[in-house]
Amino acid sequence: MHASSAVDVDLALVGGGGAASLVLAALDRHGVSGLRVAVVDPVHKRGQDRTWAFWGLPGDDLDPLLSASWSQVDVVTPAGRRVLSLDPLRYAMLRSAPVYDRAAEAERRLDAVRISAPAGELRDDGERVVVRDPDGRDLVRAGWVLDSRPRRPKRPGRTSWLQHFRGWWLAADRPTFDPQRAVLMDFRTPQPQRGVSFGYVLPVDDRFALVEYTEFGPTLLDDAGYDAALRGYADLLGLDLSALRVREVEDGVIPMTDGPFESRPSPRVVRLGTAGGATRPSTGFTFSAMLRQADQVARALAAGRPPVPAPAYPGRHLWMDAVALRALDRGHVGGVEFFERLFDRNPPERVLRFLDGVTSPAEDLAVMRSSPLLPMTGAVLGDAAGRLRARLRR
Ligand SMILES: Cc1cc2nc3c(=O)[nH]c(=O)nc-3n(C[C@H](O)[C@H](O)[C@H](O)COP(=O)(O)OP(=O)(O)OC[C@H]3O[C@@H](n4cnc5c(N)ncnc54)[C@H](O)[C@@H]3O)c2cc1C
């Protein structure tokens, strides 16, 4: 609906993308009822606009929505191929369409109000929040707002990289892919001057797979650059592109920065998703943190508590990521070497749990010990000096 006058609700979701869809699904999962909900987004998200790959334990209510999952994945470097057994975790692929459908179903059950307009300012008086449109007209009054509109960090980071990528959904007429074998990261791609690149392969079955080229670095490629990189990666895989059809193209840019994302800008506004700091700075992975926070929000609402999740990542992980980003950016350590050592010297489950932000301090120490010590020490000192300079400037 288009709102002509402000509606009163208990909870307003401002931004209805990934993070909000997972909150809606979680409200359903926890059987929340009687909550007045509004969703404010000029776009009603539907269809396939992204593919989420993530790891976790099997057996939650998203399982029926998965396109595929793998209990082992390959990490490939010029030195060789490692097969990581992920048990008890699994790597999973979830396309956006079933997630948006699931969210729409939850909206219907909650009888949520949909406001198809952009939100502007949020006025929080500590009791209620007024959501205005960009012209200052009131759209919604809400007890709590979960805001996932894309935004920049509060301050620019000392290192600001991007994870940017293009994927081709490739369809074949005959068996071409091994559905049991997903490639998590394949570092045999030509490495950029600054940053790190890798390809990956996520097969849905033996005739259909997502083949993607990704870079972590400060600058984007142009259209032709992504296509050339993907053709090069397909060659490395031994794929004959003339025998394959590109069914869909998936592009994306995700921030990788140590700039701070504010998760609680005012008493009754909570930021979620990338805007709330759910994107892991050293990898761009976001989904697991969004899923975790959505579940915490729904649990809290079901128990009549404020919908405030725990921070997406512990502070020590954000510090470690800032150091890693700095070491990579300033060339203290090569990207391939960095990831190679991480997977070489740690059990896969520890690496994946670390990347999800759920490892213990003892496990974090083990992860740190596996990084090249001398260059990382340089980056730690550089990071500390950078922090001090920023604090003095402020
Ligand atoms: C193509 C792609 C693939 C990705 N793959 C992965 C992956 O495999 N694994 C992983 O962990 N992460 C992945 N990510 C990163 C992350 O998981 C996604 O970006 C995720 O969608 C972030 O959710 P979000 O809610 O923060 O943002 P979005 O999903 O982008 O939602 C933001 C919403 O805000 C709305 N909005 C914007 N302006 C306004 C306004 N003024 N008022 C109201 N609403 C507004 C938008 O219309 C949008 O619906 C991927 C990202 C992309 C782009």
pLDDT above 70 for 311: yes
Residue-wise burial string across 80-89, b where 16 or more C-beta atoms lie within 10 A, e elsewhere: eeeebebeeb
Amino acid identity at 24 = L
pLDDT score recorded for residue 374: 55
DSSP 84-144: EE-TT-EEEEEEHHHHHHHHHHHHHHHT-EEE-S----EEE-SS-EEEE-TTS-EEEEEEE
What confidence tens digit (pLDDT) does each residue in 181-239 have? 999 999 999 999 999 999 999 999 999 999 999 999 999 999 999 999 999 999 999 99
In angstroms, the CA 272 to CA 325 distance is 23
- Record the tokens describing residue 37, joined without a space: 């909900």
pLDDT above 70 for 1: no
pLDDT score recorded for residue 366: 86
Query: Ligand 1: which residues within 6 Å by Cβ?
Result: 14-20, 40-41, 43, 45, 50-54, 118-119, 148-150, 250, 252, 254, 273-275, 285-287
The neighbour count for residue 79, using CB atoms within 10 Å, is 11
- Give the pLDDT band of residue 146 (cuts 50, 70, 90): very high
Mean pLDDT, rounded, for 300-327: 93
What confidence tens digit (pLDDT) does each residue in 55-66 have? 989 988 899 999
pLDDT score recorded for residue 344: 87
Closest CA to 81 of 163, 179, 181: 181
Pocket test for ligand 1, best of 147, 251, 286 (most atoms within 8 A of CB): 286
Q: How far is the CA of 284 from the centre of ligand 1 (A)?
A: 12
Mean pLDDT, rounded, for 106-111: 97
DSSP state of 262: P
pLDDT score recorded for residue 376: 63
Percentage with pLDDT > 90 across the chain: 77
pLDDT score recorded for residue 375: 62
pLDDT above 80 for 129: yes
